[in-house]
Amino acid sequence: MMWYSRTDEQLTLEIKVFPRSPHTRIGPVEGDRLQVRIHAVPEDGAANAAVVSLLARAFDVPLRSVTIVVGQTSRQKSVRITGSRVDPVTFEKDAVDVKSK
């Protein structure tokens, strides 16, 4: 299984989230999922909000363009990103620190 798929305007990522991480990073791919490391704890939606925010910055889209479609309460998630021109392969081999805009 591929860790991402793309249609004309939509990108779907299969990710694995590592909450409480000392670093905020995306990548590399491990198995069939892109690793996403965040500082936030998995309580009251904080980790999901951090994932959406991080992916929006990394893929240069507004927050409203990132949706968790599967895995709201799981570390393994499917995420849909609409309108991004960023190539997801950028994050495949190495961990990338994503800075605030």
As to burial, measured by CB atoms within 10 angstroms (0-12 exposed, 13-18 middle, 19+ buried), residue 67 is middle
Q: Assess if residue 56 is contained within a domain.
A: yes
- Which pLDDT value is given to residue 97? 86
Share of the chain above pLDDT 90, in %: 84
Q: Assess if residue 95 is contained within a domain.
A: no
How many domains would you assign to the chain?
1
For residues 34 and 76, what is the distance between their CA atoms, to the nearest angstrom? 10
Give tens-digit pLDDT for 65-84. 999 999 999 999 999 999 99
Domain with 25 in it: what CATH number? 3.30.1200.10
Q: Assess if residue 90 is contained within a domain.
A: no
Q: What is the domain extent for residue 54?
A: 4-85
